[in-house]
Amino acid sequence: MPSVSRLESRVRRLEARLTDKSGLRPHSAEWLDHWLEKLTLIVTGGVPGRPSSIPLEVWDAIDFAKVEAGQATDNE
C-alpha cells in the first residue's frame, strides 16, 4: 500500500494536470469568470498586461459563448 506522502504527491500531480495557471479547472464556470474578469482588467487598463497573456482556451471559450448566444464572430 502506498504511503500517505506518496499519495499526496500523486494527488498534487493530478491536480496540476487538471488545472491551468489560474489554479482552476479549465472550462468550469469559475474558470471562465476568472479569465473574463482578468481580460476585462487588462483591456480597460486596470492591470498591466496584454491580451496575449490570456490562454488560447479562454479566447476559444469566449468565441464559443458568442456562437451559443447567436452573435456573429470574426471567424465567419
- The structural domains of the chain, with segments of one domain joined by +, span 4-68
- pLDDT of 74 higher than 60: no
Separation CA 47–CA 39 (nearest Å): 9
According to the per-residue pLDDT averaged within each range, which of 30-39, 47-56, 62-71 is highest?
A: 30-39
pLDDT of residue 72: 55
Contact 59, 67 (CB under 8 A): no
pLDDT tens, position by position, 51-70: 677 888 888 888 877 777 88
